[in-house]
Amino acid sequence: MTTVNHWTPGDIPDQAGRTALITGGNSGIGLETAHALARHGARVILAGRSQTRLDQAAEAVRAATPEARTDTLVLDLSDLSSVRDAATRIAETETVDLLFNNAGVMNLPERRTTHDGLEMTFGTNHLGHFAFNAQVWPAVRRSTAARVVTVSAIAARWPMGRLEDLMSEKSYRAMGAYAKSKRANIVYTLELARRTASSPVEALVVHPGSAMTNLQQHGTGRLSRLVTPIAARLLMGSAEGAAWPSLYAATSPHVQSGWFIGPAGRDQTSGTPRPSKLPTDADDPAAGRRLWVASEQLTGVPFDIEAGAAI
């Protein structure tokens, strides 16, 4: 396992001629990822639910890097018809060299469902990305050196994140649903790495440590309003620093497909990206196969690595 002693976004190699598609690219870690890649020559496609916010984000990237090439893609991961429409647009015409599964929701106080009746947190954070990846796959396969980077979280290690009752129909806890979705991000990515082992595609999964981003907006109640600003000051890093694991996974020549990467600092909240300890049994091939099949069934989207999904 080869790593570097210290890494910053200044070490990103030239990305000219490469296209990056970032879900949740209009804010937080996704936007910081876009800024860094644009500075190093990549064309960035920012994907998110609001065209207005996407336009604002693209303008911000161009303001910081006047020569940046940006595009936007309206994508609502909680609506499989939106996922299909967005994927169709990309799959038909684009070559995607870097695909970031970055968007997510967190800490929804009550169980909610997506447009398609899936539990909202798991449906957005994992199933929406699974369906999007499957249907955008032709664009990824066109690249001669593609990487898929999925953003998980430290929460994936929590015991409440076991991949059982995926739709939280028996019981619902906000952070339990989140932990479950973040563990699914890891199990899915490692299974993707196994299935693409003989192809030019590499699949890596990261956790960003702790940072204040839009994910924290769903906290409710007086305690949450008091604690969140304190946590932001004492425990959490910046969105810019939290993007480092994603950027390292996407661009470093030292990484390998199937790695789980996170910050190496105190309590893994910030610092130079490094390979990180996987949750127990997350790399079990049987678990990966089970999740893949369940994801196809729940979304109704088959994911054939060789052929891509029918759109």
Active site residues: 178
Q: How far apart are CA 153 and CA 206, in angstroms?
A: 7
Q: How far apart are CA 196 and CA 289, in angstroms?
A: 14
Reported in sequence order, the residue ranges of the chain that DSSP labels E, i.e. its strands, are: 19-23, 43-48, 69-74, 98-101, 147-151, 202-206, 260-263, 273-275
Output the six-digit token pair for 55: 């336009």
CA 126 to chain centre: 9
Coil/strand/helix, residue 38: helix
Q: How far apart are CA 78 and CA 120, in angstroms?
A: 7
- Percent helix / strand / coil, the chain, rounded to 5: 45, 15, 40
Output the six-digit token pair for 56: 């604002």
Residues 140/199, Cβ–Cβ less than 8 Å:
no
What is the sign of the dihedral through the CA atoms of 255, 289, 188 and 93?
positive
Coil/strand/helix, residue 154: helix
